[in-house]
Structure 1
């Protein structure tokens, strides 16, 4: 498979840190380190395809983000995907606002002729935030026990949309653009953020064994 692109929903720093703590515990127990190794960030994937045109996606997502406000999220359940990657996740409560957000993005993509696979269509999309990948089958039960110790629900907001490029060999490679969700009346200069322009705060004190720390948007 060739390089692909995804549209992802990123969390506010407080919610992101709570999810990263789960990543860190699983890594310290040597259950799963994959998401840390590829320098991923906690997110919910709204769309992914290996056939998308990045410049076309950028225009669509920038316009869409300018009309959206921060989205309330409640990560309230744990689960796993029935595939070879042994992915474990935290699932958000499927609130009307979250489902409408995804449906509106779907409509915006479809209107511009973007091909959307069945997994990301509103009637079959499963929203989730991955917390572990490539978990050994013999340790899946242990991983669930770790996640059960989380004080769910984890509550916060989705503050940014991201256009991310991926490769099938190693997964997420990097973020192309980030857009703040500001709602009507936004200042256009505040919407698009180049990754190089982000102020990065490494908070190793909160995650002592997370090699990359926590990346927070200030």
Structure 2
């Protein structure tokens, strides 16, 4: 299994990592530390099986010269019955176009038409905590909703990650976006 993600500028990355650390210190969530080298991100696509070489070549070609995407996190959400808490970016035309164009240009790699990351199902988000009890979800929500104002940042890089091992999600290949 593979994920295709967008990662953030240094400042945004640092803010999210600080929140992860604080939630862990308050014994609310250890989400950030359940997977080795977890990076704050927005997942753009998922694949069950993939020819890595072909995907990485197309990734380099397609994303060459693509520009960074401005993001603004000002909403906290949760998927029903999931115990997940996340920040949702403002859904801009640039963000939707970036996502849709990826799926259009990489459609021959799509091996799961019912993926939650397909254009008709995608809810862009950056996970803050996961698998929380109702009580811990409430604690995390209360903490995160008061912790900071809107987080302004950028998606600055796209990356292919291997999520076949539940304890690790290494980046296989990445491509920086142009500022």
TM-score, normalised relative to structure 2: 0.91
Q: 1:48 aligns with which of 46, 49, 55?
A: 46
CA apart distance, 1:168: 5.7
1:122 corresponds in structure 2 to: 119
SS in 2 for 1:167: coil
Higher radius of gyration, 1 or 2: 1
User: Are 1:47 and 1:116, in contact at CA under 8 Å, matched by a contact in 2?
Assistant: no
**Take 2:113 and 2:77, find their aligned partners in 1: how far apart are those partners?**
22
CA apart distance, 1:134: 1.9
TM-score, normalised relative to structure 1: 0.76
CA apart distance, 1:182: 2.1
- For structure 1, the 5+ residue unaligned runs are 184-218
**Take 1:113 and 1:174, find their aligned partners in 2: how far apart are those partners?**
20
Q: 1:175 aligns with which of 167, 171, 175?
A: 171
CA apart distance, 1:81: 1.6
**Take 2:67 and 2:7, find their aligned partners in 1: how far apart are those partners?**
13
Q: Which runs of 4+ in 1 moved over 6 A?
A: none
User: Are 2:16 and 2:40, in contact at CA under 8 Å, matched by a contact in 1?
Assistant: yes
- For structure 2, the 5+ residue unaligned runs are none
Give the RMSD, CA atoms, in angstroms: 1.7
More RCO (CA 8 Å, sep 6+):
2
**Take 2:38 and 2:81, find their aligned partners in 1: how far apart are those partners?**
20
The size of the alignment, in residue pairs, is 177
